[in-house]
Structure 1
Amino acid sequence: MSSKSTSAASKITSSSEINGSLLAQPKAIWAVFFACIIAFMGIGLVDPILPAIAEKLHASHSEVTLLFTSYNAVMAVAMLITGMISSRLGIKWTLLTGIVIIAVFSALGGLSNGIWTLVSLRGGWGLGNALFVATALAAIVSLSNSGTAKAIILYEAAIGLGISVGPLLGGWLGAMSWRGPFLGVATLMVVAFIGLYLLMPKAVQQKSKQSKTSLLDPFRALKHRSLLIFGITAALYNIGFFTLLAYAPFVMGLDEHGLGFVFLGWGILLAITSVFMAPKLQQRFGTIKSMCAMLILFALLLFAMGIWTSTQWVVIAAVIAAGALLGNNNTLITTAVMNAAPVERSTASAAYSFLRFIGGAIAPFMAGKLAEIFNPSVPFIVGGSFVLISVLFILINNRHVKHVDDAELGH
């Protein structure tokens, strides 16, 4: 374990970092922040058109959910190489490469004519997103002058803004054609590329080249029990998360505009809670207790969706309310991961994200198949059950992760 990594971990609790202003950030941080908003609009842009894709391409619901499965599966595996690539290309060029890949594959998706071609192209999109997402988180945390916790809040705010605005734009473009959101993502990625290229200084690129990361580093990082526990917890709760994201549009009975507004509400609550509420919960109750509370409430919402699947207003209200719980939990668990083990933050992010997106890859297709085999209620009941298992898992292993709260409180 290097002294450099140890000192990086110990910096977390320094008073200068804790007292730093969230908005007083270098220009490079804001360049990445803007690009993050555009990148995460891609998730929300596609969500309102899932039923339309099923209809236009004559695909089953489980086949359409593969658009999330291929995306997350490729992203999970690609997360393992992001550190190795970024340590050689540098932060700036890794981010730009990811943006180019997203733009190309989303544009090709908008021009495709078959569900299986579209599923394959979404996998390529996942590769670009992996390069961008893992590097963006590491960049914001490493370059921020206000501390890890506030840098992560900034990152989660960008995610929330992107996810909330995306569905509204996706619903508007999707009402014209299901191809619209795919071509829209490609266009926005070009804007993000230009913004990042012009605003992010070259000096930032060189900063990441100080030490080259090995392909095995993420696996070595998982030897730290705390990081492994958070990764498995995230994989389990992401089964519930992506059941809601990928399958709920099929049972709401809304058109593209309606789905856009529902997921707009979901994203707004996600953004607000991730920035304003999560830090207060963390200070008052601690990370682990707050996470468990949010996950239990999320599981209950999924069970409600499973029980009252045919009652439209219940499903809509549950989806929107889930945004608040997921916004809190995403910030809490990401902060915990960054503080969990004395390894480079980019390596911790890659190892954690690998496990997290495995859950995201399993959930969508599983939800579609469960609905086809049984009925539309079963996916939500199963998703809620996995979220509850994630709570039990972290409580059983509490002794391995409780140091996260101690570090954040300065004990």
Structure 2
Amino acid sequence: MQSSAASQKQAAAAIKPQTQPVSMFNQSKAVLAVVFASIIAFMGLGLVDPILPAIAEKLHASHSDVTLLFTSYNAVMAVAMLITGVISSRLGVKWTLLTGIIIIAVFSALSGMSNGIWSLVWLRGGWGLGNALFVATALSAIVSLSRTGVARSIILFEVAVGLGISVGPLLGGELGAISWRGPFFGVAGLMVLAFLMISILMPKPAPAVRKKRASLADPFRALRFKALRTFGIAAALYNFGFFTLLVYAALVLGKLGLDEHQLGYVFLGWGLMLAFTSVFMAPKLQKRFGTLPSMMVQLLLFAVTLFVMANWTTDKTVLIVAVIVAGAFLGNNNTLITTAVMNAAPVERPTASAAYSFLRFIGGALAPYLAGKLAEWFNPHMPFIVGGAFVVLAVIYLYFNRNHLKHVDAVEGGH
């Protein structure tokens, strides 16, 4: 018996090193190239944020006009998400990524040459098309080609998102202090660098991840699955709060006296909190409390933050602290919900990502313009109140559909 017990211990000792988790950074050059390019791509979103007040001033536009820069961007992204699978299944992962990068570079450069708010709004829509092709393909490429499984791959993608969003405002603030056109040309230059990274470090086409060519109907078929549809609708609702924070808060802080440099530092803090919690906190919350309970708590905390901003809209210090703190709640939630979506339905992951992104970016398209109009129609506090209310609605919707989401943790546990 003792000999048998000793043998079992030796066997367990031999197995243990093999079952230890592999670092999420232990990736191939192809995956690291996509991650690096993703950081640069998401810099594009943050680069523009610190210059929103300057654009309103220089182009003689209202705050609601300026918010259309995000509305057109997100609206085109929402629709384009439906065709990303069709395009990537024909062009392949590498060329879809490169096509998206080229479109972003061209439209961001043209935006820098624009002389009117409406031409800028339309050009941002074209930028959104490129971003849709890149983002949807990047996420599915990282998940498909990763050595570390779905959960760690998504965390790696969220790291890229957080770093891009956090460093972007800092660079945008510096370039924007020279000219409001600077960040747009900065994005174009960074996209050239991203193009070179993908071209060099992904010299061969990535292995096919689809057994057949995608159809335009695939994302709609995927939305027939209750769990995937629930997460998509919930994301559309909480995106009202997300883009109220990202867009309207920047305009309010600009009105309270923050210049491009200062806005860049504020949103740098926000992005760093988002990146940190995405990596170090979200996985622990998911493991200890489960995906859905953790998600609902993080969303409620984010809603409370928006209500605090609504009450102290004219207090610069409170708004700055609230923006940075909100990054923690959003970082946790982004990782939790993105991981859940990948396991929500028995469909290919690129299809699940496209269907989910279509719904969530609809909320992202409506939210910025609504926030600007609410401030004009009522008062500066109302956008934060409505944004917080939509986030609470997302939690209520998740709670009443919780029975359809129980399998998410079970599937994740299997990985």
- For the superposition of Structure 1 and Structure 2, which TM-score range results when normalised by the shorter chain? over 0.9
Partner of 1:7: none
Partner of 2:37: 35
| CA RMSD, Structure 1 to Structure 2 (Å) | 1.3
Partner of 2:246: 245
Alignment of 1:362-377 (within 5 A): 362-377=366-381
1:212 matched to 2:213? The reply is: yes
Partner of 1:69: 71
Task: Report the Cα distance in structure 2 between the residues aligned to 1:187 and 1:17, rounded to whole angstroms.
Answer: 43
The aligned amino acid for 1:265 is: G
Partner of 1:320: 324
Q: Percent of aligned pairs with the same residue?
A: 71
Deviation at 1:16, TM superposition (A): 7.8
Of 335, 340, 344, 1:336 maps to 340
Task: Report the Cα distance in structure 1 between the residues aligned to 2:170 and 2:411, rounded to whole angstroms.
Answer: 40
Alignment of 1:131-170 (within 5 A): 131-170=133-172
Which secondary structure does the structure 1 equivalent of 2:79 belong to? helix
Structure 1 range deviating more: 193-202 or 373-382: 193-202
Task: Report the Cα distance in structure 1 between the residues aligned to 2:259 and 2:358, rounded to whole angstroms.
Answer: 34
Partner of 1:12: none
- 1:104·1:186 contact (CA, 8 Å) conserved in 2? yes
The aligned amino acid for 1:29 is: V
Partner of 2:306: 302
Which secondary structure does the structure 2 equivalent of 1:376 belong to? coil
Deviation at 1:410, TM superposition (A): 3.8
For residues 231-269 of structure 1, what are the alpha-carbon distances to aligned partners after superposition, in whole Å with 9 as ceiling and x for unaligned? 000000001000111100121121100100000000000
Task: Report the Cα distance in structure 2 between the residues aligned to 1:192 and 1:155, rounded to whole angstroms.
Answer: 16
Deviation at 1:279, TM superposition (A): 0.4
For residues 165-209 of structure 1, what are the alpha-carbon distances to aligned partners after superposition, in whole Å with 9 as ceiling and x for unaligned? 0000000000010000000000000000011111013141x5246
Deviation at 1:17, TM superposition (A): 9.1
- 2:144·2:209 contact (CA, 8 Å) conserved in 1? no
- 1:16·1:146 contact (CA, 8 Å) conserved in 2? no
Deviation at 1:20, TM superposition (A): 3.1
For residues 336-375 of structure 1, what are the alpha-carbon distances to aligned partners after superposition, in whole Å with 9 as ceiling and x for unaligned? 0001111000000000000000000000000000000111
- 2:93·2:205 contact (CA, 8 Å) conserved in 1? no
Deviation at 1:145, TM superposition (A): 1.2
Structure 1 runs not aligned, ≥5 long: 1-14
Structure 1 range deviating more: 375-384 or 21-30: 21-30
Alignment of 1:11-410 (within 5 A): 19-204=21-206, 206-208=207-209, 210-252=211-253, 253=256, 254-410=258-414
Task: Report the Cα distance in structure 1 between the residues aligned to 2:20 and 2:215, rounded to whole angstroms.
Answer: 31
Partner of 1:3: none
Task: Report the Cα distance in structure 1 between the residues aligned to 2:307 and 2:404, rounded to whole angstroms.
Answer: 30
For residues 103-122 of structure 1, what are the alpha-carbon distances to aligned partners after superposition, in whole Å with 9 as ceiling and x for unaligned? 00000000000000000000
Which secondary structure does the structure 2 equivalent of 1:22 belong to? coil
- 1:17·1:146 contact (CA, 8 Å) conserved in 2? no
TM-score w.r.t. the length of structure 2 is: 0.94
Deviation at 1:24, TM superposition (A): 1.4
- 2:299·2:392 contact (CA, 8 Å) conserved in 1? yes
Task: Report the Cα distance in structure 2 between the residues aligned to 1:20 and 1:319, rounded to whole angstroms.
Answer: 34
- 1:17·1:145 contact (CA, 8 Å) conserved in 2? no
Which secondary structure does the structure 2 equivalent of 1:323 belong to? helix
Task: Report the Cα distance in structure 1 between the residues aligned to 2:152 and 2:200, rounded to whole angstroms.
Answer: 25
Which secondary structure does the structure 1 equivalent of 2:214 belong to? coil
Task: Report the Cα distance in structure 2 between the residues aligned to 1:109 and 1:323, rounded to whole angstroms.
Answer: 28
Task: Report the Cα distance in structure 1 between the residues aligned to 2:223 and 2:184, rounded to whole angstroms.
Answer: 35
Which secondary structure does the structure 2 equivalent of 1:281 belong to? helix
Which secondary structure does the structure 1 equivalent of 2:208 belong to? helix
- 1:99·1:128 contact (CA, 8 Å) conserved in 2? yes
Q: Structure 1 pair 168/371, CA: closer, same or farther in 2 (3 Å)?
A: same
Deviation at 1:210, TM superposition (A): 3.9
Q: Structure 1 pair 70/16, CA: closer, same or farther in 2 (3 Å)?
A: farther
The structure whose Rg is larger is: 2
Which secondary structure does the structure 1 equivalent of 2:24 belong to? coil
Task: Report the Cα distance in structure 2 between the residues aligned to 1:188 and 1:203, rounded to whole angstroms.
Answer: 22
- 1:281·1:290 contact (CA, 8 Å) conserved in 2? yes
- 1:69·1:364 contact (CA, 8 Å) conserved in 2? yes
Runs of 4+ off more than 6 Å: 15-18
TM-score w.r.t. the length of structure 1 is: 0.95
Task: Report the Cα distance in structure 2 between the residues aligned to 1:159 and 1:410, rounded to whole angstroms.
Answer: 26
Task: Report the Cα distance in structure 2 between the residues aligned to 1:17 and 1:129, rounded to whole angstroms.
Answer: 37
Task: Report the Cα distance in structure 2 between the residues aligned to 1:16 and 1:351, rounded to whole angstroms.
Answer: 36
For residues 27-65 of structure 1, what are the alpha-carbon distances to aligned partners after superposition, in whole Å with 9 as ceiling and x for unaligned? 110010000000000000000000000000000000000
Which secondary structure does the structure 2 equivalent of 1:19 belong to? coil
- 2:30·2:202 contact (CA, 8 Å) conserved in 1? yes
Structure 2 runs not aligned, ≥5 long: 1-16
Which secondary structure does the structure 1 equivalent of 2:353 belong to? helix
Deviation at 1:211, TM superposition (A): 2.0
